[in-house]
Amino acid sequence: MGAALARAAQWTAAGSGTGTLEITPLNESLLNQIVKFAEDFSTRHPQEAAFVFREPLEWKTQLGCSAFGEGYEIDEATVQSEAKGEDGQPLLLLTASNIKVRNFDQLSHLLQINVDKKLKEAQACLEANRDPIVKILGPEYGTVEGEDTSMLRLLEKMKEDDDPQTEMKMKIAILLHQLDMQLLNSSLKHISQDVRLNPAAVNNEVNLLKNFSGKGEDTVLESLEYTSDYTFSNGCRAPPWRQVHGEICYLIIKPHDTDPLCITCSTAGVFLNGGKDEIDYERKSDVYKDIVTFLRERSPKFVENMANKMSDMFEEVSESSSETDEDEEQPVRHQEGSTDLPSEYWGIQKLAKYLRGGNPTATVIALCAMRDFNLAQETCQLAIRDIGCLEVLINLLDTEEIKCQIGSLKILKEISQNILIRHAIVDLEGLQIMVKILDSPDTDLKCLAAETIANVARFKRARSTVRHYGGIKRLVGLLDCTSVRSTALIPYQAKDTEKARCGALALWSCSKSTKNKEAIRKAGGIPLLAKWLKSSHVDILTPVVGILQECASEPSYRLAIRTEGMIENLVKNLSSEHEELQMHCASAIFKCAEDKETRDLVRQHGGLQPLSVLLNNSENKKLLAAVTGAIWKCAISAENVSKFHEYKVTEALVGLLTDQPEEVLVNIVGALGECCQEPVNRSIIRKCGGIPPLVKLLTGTNQALLVNVTKAVGACATEPENMMIIDRLDGVRLLWSLLKNPNADVQANAAWAICPCIENAKDAGEMVRSFVGGLELIVNLLKSKNKEVLASVCAAITNIAKDEENLAVITDHGVVPLLSKLVNTNNDKLRHHLADAISHCCMWGNNRVTFGENKAVAPLVHYLKSNDPLVHRATAQALYQLSEDPSNCITMHENGVVKLLLAMVGSTDETLQEAAAGCIANIRRLALATEKAKYG
């Protein structure tokens, strides 16, 4: 256990003997194993459990006297065990918060009675007893670096000594040694799963950053240099005696907006060391996965300039963030040369000469014969490409022979399902010819051309080609016909519908591009899509709704979908028997329901019930993702949440929280977060067992999921009963750890979630103090550039500052100057929570005076001119607190506060009224005192 604590456990940078265990997954795993070992020790090894330690294990405990029962003598604030050692001393002694334990039997019992906080108890014990084996068995068993010969010495001693105590020590030493090996193996397994840095990766990152560094405001750094020019054969620049600790190299970095930073790059990650003019190897910060992540935490200027560089590099890479080049995500496979090719390959090769023959009749026969092959088989598809038939098929499209064109398109339509063939068709300029065919008077020819375009236009270059050669306008034209609402179609209407279906399929493939979406709209596609949405034919409804759900990412389309009356038809088709159509309808609603008017229309047209029913189809994950997404966005409106409560949607969503893809979980958790607007749903989530899986999701890495789950857990925490479960599951610690997340939205939602946790915790002050480095972390977030992060952190500080001891700690961490720097803001949400935080931080020491010295008072006066009543209330309270200092009163008076506050004394808000009156009274008292001193 001593070796594992010294080598594997992750301690804070405070140094040996004074550091504390960091809040990390590895430490949590080690603590769990140690707790299990200690809990089970008395039952598995009863004789060894009775052995009295050489010295007691002593630490500060959170246990009170009331936790102890039978077997203990309780006298006011003191508890001692009835069981005593040979020297008459109790084997367990609790005095106030100080506890001493002298054998494993008492240690096991202590952990068993402390069910909820056993991990924290074990952490406190190990932090106070860094090498517990020394206290248990004596200094001769202490953990030493290098070769450990304590076992050998003990065996020699056993041969010479018949003392039964030596044999008992030997058994305990072996058990502790086994635990040590278990912990070390566990930590190695855990560490091996982490992404590790290596010299090549560090060198590549340094070279990349050097390219963007130098003099000038637009560079990401002023300079970045290695401390040593010598490179060892393994790529490391660190000296060999530091390489054994995993260190790779040392860098001196000069950002634009901070002092130079001396950092260590190691296999575990990147961290700030203690060096300035010379190297100091001691770690002075958290460990980050790479240099860029480290710099993002240290230099706002680096973040800003790096973002500018990245946007310059990638601004032309993609037309749209929604456009994905699906073909390039798949590996391109090439036909390997082989002497054992299948007979189909040779059969197609024989037909090739007839295709090239030039005789129209022979060509048509050859095309028909080629269609007899299984063109869905990859061998046949690649045979057509390899023997040059693809060029011939494309050339046939540019002839006047309609039969040859039709035969060629039928083959191209089949083989263009293959990724390699699609790229080859575009390379051979086949798309341009197909777009020209869309003007043909022959309906069958147009349909085949449109269907082939639908297959080929699955990657960006193909979609762009269709647009550049006028294909979008022609494809929209295929939608324009008269048989939209007909149910029993006569032959010419059936042809019209088929033409529209093929056009819609091609437009669906093309609509993944932002520019194509705009081209469809300009070509008059929206009214035609609205007409076809009223059709009863699933074959055309599916591609039409597919286009709409692709285009609904654009605000202009969302407006059109709402104003053209399409929501009613989308809702109607949610009840279709066809799952693909249901999925696209739900996906379109998901995207459109960002707008309140659309959410209301979905409810008014009865769309909430079919969405609720579709939750039962949990096997189809794509459908489930679309449906849960639609429910999430619809639940933003409180009226819809009430309806969902009637349909028992919250219960159904909680039931889906496990064994789902992340895409589905993001939507489920988002929906639960919105449903928590109603208090009854917060209770339902608890009763249905939804809080444990939600808390478990806080350990994930998916940023979108973390944004939603922090919001949901925070909403649940507004109920005290829910908060008890969240606290028991260590949810507050997990939320606090997410304040380190690089994503600003995750940081903000985590801080918002922490607010109700503090408000509803039983002993909030002690809970907050128990998080190592937690208060410093949240104060440092006041340096963020994100307004939402700042507002949420100010709200959290307001709650933290209600505890006097915590207020003293955050004052020491510099909360007052950091809050003062934020006062010159026009953002009312930030103003509200910033004023609240200032008001509560005034309650300690000379903070009122310090706010004045940091020029925070005058800008606060101007907050009273805001139109937001919440800003008025918070500002009046802050000014009232600040007015207890005479200098602040003078500043307020000079900035015209009295006139503004007089208007608020008559407010119906009693809190605002009292704060305004109190501030005016303080200013008046100061004026009277000054007058009296002046005139006597």
Same domain, 137 and 209: no
Can you give the CATH number for the domain in which 903 is found?
A: 1.25.10.10
Inform me whether the pLDDT recorded for 327 exceeds 50: no
Residues 118-134: tens digit of each pLDDT: 888 888 898 888 888 88
State the residue range of the domain holding 53.
1-86+94-141
Residues 215-248: tens digit of each pLDDT: 887 888 999 999 888 888 888 998 888 887 788 9
Domain end, chosen from 316, 340, 367, is at 316
271's tokens: 């961290």
CA distance 212 to 207: 9
Would you tell me the crossing angle of helices 596-604 and 555-563 to the nearest 10 degrees? Answer: 30
Residues 544-584: tens digit of each pLDDT: 999 999 999 899 999 999 988 899 999 999 999 999 999 99
Which pTM value belongs to this model? Answer: 0.63
Residues 750-777: tens digit of each pLDDT: 999 999 999 988 888 889 888 888 899 9
The predicted structure's pLDDT at residue 750: 95
Average pLDDT value for residue range 821-850: 93
The predicted structure's pLDDT at residue 92: 92
Q: Tell whether 575 is covered by a domain.
A: no
Same domain, 133 and 1: yes
From residue 247, give the alpha-carbon distance in Å to each of 19, 198, 286: 21, 10, 15
Could you list the beta-strand ranges (E) of 82-179: 92-95, 98-101
Q: Tell whether 28 is covered by a domain.
A: yes
Answer yes or no: are the C-beta atoms of 716 and 756 closer than 8 Å. no
At 328, the pLDDT band (50, 70, 90 cuts) reads very low
Looking at the structure of the chain, the number of domains it has is 3
Mean pLDDT of the chain: 85
Question: What are the two backbone dihedrals, phi and then psi, of residue 270, each rounded to the nearest 5 degrees?
Answer: -115, 135
Same domain, 77 and 204: no
Same domain, 108 and 207: no
To the nearest 10°, report the CA torsion of 831, 834, 839, 844.
-160
Answer yes or no: are the C-beta atoms of 476 and 523 closer than 8 Å. yes
CA distance 251 to 645: 58
Q: Tell whether 270 is covered by a domain.
A: yes
Same domain, 253 and 117: no
Place of tokens 């026009």: 826
From residue 506, give the alpha-carbon distance in Å to each of 344, 396, 492, 586, 592: 31, 21, 21, 21, 23
- Sign for the pseudo-dihedral over CA of 706, 712, 715, 716: negative
Residues 277-298: tens digit of each pLDDT: 667 788 888 888 889 889 988 8
Same domain, 225 and 131: no
For residue 670, give the nearest of 700, 723, 628 by alpha carbon: 628
Same domain, 203 and 137: no
The predicted structure's pLDDT at residue 243: 82
Same domain, 63 and 207: no
CA distance 832 to 821: 15
Same domain, 252 and 118: no
Inform me whether the pLDDT recorded for 369 exceeds 90: no
Same domain, 110 and 239: no
CA distance 836 to 791: 10
Least confident of 24-38, 309-323, 622-636, 784-798: 309-323
Q: Pick the most confident of 76-90, 476-490, 811-825.
A: 811-825
Same domain, 924 and 783: yes
Domain end, chosen from 291, 316, 341, is at 316
Q: Tell whether 297 is covered by a domain.
A: yes
Domain end, chosen from 299, 316, 333, is at 316
Can you give the CATH number for the domain in which 307 is found?
A: 3.30.2280.10
Q: Tell whether 653 is covered by a domain.
A: no
Inform me whether the pLDDT recorded for 647 exceeds 80: yes
From residue 797, give the alpha-carbon distance in Å to each of 778, 819, 861: 8, 10, 21
CB-facing half-sphere around the CA of 409: CA atoms within 13 A: 26
Average pLDDT value for residue range 347-363: 74
Q: Tell whether 72 is covered by a domain.
A: yes
Q: Tell whether 630 is covered by a domain.
A: no
Q: Tell whether 380 is covered by a domain.
A: no
Specify the 3-state DSSP secondary structure of 844: coil
**Amino acid in the structure at residue 356:** R
The predicted structure's pLDDT at residue 293: 87
The predicted structure's pLDDT at residue 27: 78
For residue 422, give the nearest of 454, 377, 375 by alpha carbon: 454
Above pLDDT 70, what percent of the chain?
88
Place of tokens 């693809």: 390
Same domain, 23 and 114: yes
